[in-house]
């Protein structure tokens, strides 16, 4: 199936602004019990969190930007998870390809799309948001998995999201590991940077980066995870996000866009996000 010029996903999802939300998104994935257990038992996430991010995100983006090969890419992403399985502390079995678990991971990527829209102030109308969500359902369909777990409308998705934030997510051991990393990054040296340099860089940049990540969490999750969050952190986060809204649209596209998106635009062309939105609005009026 795939996407192409004129698709809302294709025209917008390759923006690096999504990385602002990546730590919060990763934490919310790890707070889903079965997903957190899978990472705990089958991943070297804490030895190389940045490398894992740079490896996995491009593969998922390939489903949007790889044209005729996108379906094969979707199956590769799905099949990578076939052997991630085991037992929960309760004795219940888990599997990464359990539809509810796999869809929660997908839902966090859907959430990022709307967060970026809010950040860069595209201000999609309700009609366009519904159309955008419908494309994310097609994105899920590419995995070849059941549709029974998929909320039918964007409004249903918001209810699904709120339910999981309020009643499903918990501080799993895997999530606690990431919480500890965000609070004290200097304790987890990374192999790609010499130790002394990591100690300096993580102290200078780690805590401001932590506040950006924590500020992107729903308030109830900040509290559930035990993050310190007061007026100073809230003001700093608001100032950072305001500066992003002003400055980011002025950054050249060759910097803003991820390589997979740039390659697709060179290969297949694009209409631009505004033109894709106008098409949806015309269809609504017709």
At 61-86, the pLDDT tens digits run 999 999 989 999 999 999 989 989 99
Average pLDDT over residues 52-65: 78
Is residue 166 over pLDDT 60? yes
**Are the C-beta atoms of residues 270 and 263 closer than 8 Å to each other?**
no
Query: Would you place residue 207 in the very low, low, confident or very high pLDDT band (cuts 50, 70, 90)?
Result: confident
Select the highest-mean-pLDDT range: 2-16, 83-97, 142-156.
Answer: 142-156
> pTM of the predicted model, to two decimals?
0.90
**Are the C-beta atoms of residues 194 and 35 closer than 8 Å to each other?**
no
Please indicate whether residue 159 or residue 119 has the higher confidence score (pLDDT). Answer: 159
At 14-23, the pLDDT tens digits run 999 999 999 9
Query: Would you place residue 187 in the very low, low, confident or very high pLDDT band (cuts 50, 70, 90)?
Result: low
**Are the C-beta atoms of residues 10 and 3 closer than 8 Å to each other?**
yes
Strands (E), the chain: 85-87, 93-95
Q: What is the pLDDT of residue 57?
A: 79
Q: What is the pLDDT of residue 78?
A: 93
Per the listing, tokens 């595209």 go with 122
- Start-to-end Cα distance in the chain: 26
Query: Would you place residue 181 in the very low, low, confident or very high pLDDT band (cuts 50, 70, 90)?
Result: confident
Structure tokens that stand for 143 in this block: 């995995």
Pick the range with the lowest mean pLDDT from 44-53, 63-72, 99-108, 182-191. 44-53
Buried b (16+ CB within 10 A) or exposed e, 63-73: bbbbeeebeeb
Q: What is the pLDDT of residue 190?
A: 63
d(CA 194, CA 229): 31
What is the average pLDDT score of the chain?
Answer: 88
Structure tokens that stand for 132 in this block: 């955008």
Q: What is the pLDDT of residue 120?
A: 77
Q: What is the pLDDT of residue 197?
A: 67
d(CA 224, CA 272): 40
At 218-267, the pLDDT tens digits run 999 999 999 989 999 999 999 999 999 999 989 999 999 999 999 999 99
d(CA 20, CA 251): 15
Closest CA to 277 of 9, 4, 2, 1: 9
Average pLDDT over residues 36-65: 74
Please indicate whether residue 123 or residue 209 has the higher confidence score (pLDDT). Answer: 209
d(CA 28, CA 163): 13
Q: What is the pLDDT of residue 202?
A: 59
Closest CA to 222 of 237, 204, 202: 237
Q: Which residues partner with 94 through β-bridges? A: 86
| Ramachandran class of 257: left when φ > 0, alpha when ψ lies in -120 to 50, beta otherwise | beta
Is residue 277 over pLDDT 60? yes
Q: Which class for 123: exposed (0-12), middle (13-18), buried (19 or more C-beta within 10 A)?
A: exposed
Helix, strand or coil, per DSSP, at residue 85:
strand
Per the listing, tokens 């889903």 go with 32
Q: What is the pLDDT of residue 195?
A: 64
**Are the C-beta atoms of residues 128 and 285 closer than 8 Å to each other?**
no
**Are the C-beta atoms of residues 188 and 181 closer than 8 Å to each other?**
yes
What are the sequence ranges of the domains in the chain?
8-285
């Amino acid at each position: 199936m795939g996407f192409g010029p004129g698709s809302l996903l294709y025209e917008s999802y390759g923006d690096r602004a999504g990385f602002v939300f990546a730590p919060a998104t990763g934490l919310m994935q790890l707070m889903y019990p079965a997903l957190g257990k899978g990472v705990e038992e089958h991943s070297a996430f804490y030895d190389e969190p940045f490398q894992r991010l740079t490896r996995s995100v491009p593969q998922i983006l390939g489903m949007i930007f790889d044209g005729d090969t996108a379906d094969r890419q979707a199956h590769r992403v799905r099949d990578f998870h076939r052997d991630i399985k085991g037992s929960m502390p309760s004795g219940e079995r888990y599997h990464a390809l359990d539809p509810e678990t796999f869809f929660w991971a997908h839902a966090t990527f859907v959430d990022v799309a709307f967060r970026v829209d809010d950040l860069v102030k595209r201000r999609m109308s309700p009609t366009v948001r519904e159309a955008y969500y419908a494309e994310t359902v097609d994105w899920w369909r590419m995995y070849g998995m059941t549709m029974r777990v998929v909320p039918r409308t964007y409004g249903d998705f918001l209810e699904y999201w709120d339910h999981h934030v309020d009643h499903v997510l918990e501080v799993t051991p895997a999530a606690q590991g990431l919480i500890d990393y965000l609070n004290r990054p200097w304790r987890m040296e990374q192999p790609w940077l010499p130790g002394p340099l990591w100690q300096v860089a993580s102290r200078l940049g780690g805590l401001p980066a932590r506040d950006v990540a924590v500020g992107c969490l729903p308030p109830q999750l900040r509290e559930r995870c035990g993050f310190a969050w007061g007026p100073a952190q809230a003001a700093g986060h608001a100032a950072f996000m305001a500066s992003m809204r002003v400055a980011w649209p002025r950054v050249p596209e060759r910097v803003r866009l991820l390589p997979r998106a740039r390659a697709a635009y060179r290969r297949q062309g694009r209409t631009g996000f505004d033109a894709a939105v106008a098409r949806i609005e015309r269809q609504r009026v017709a």
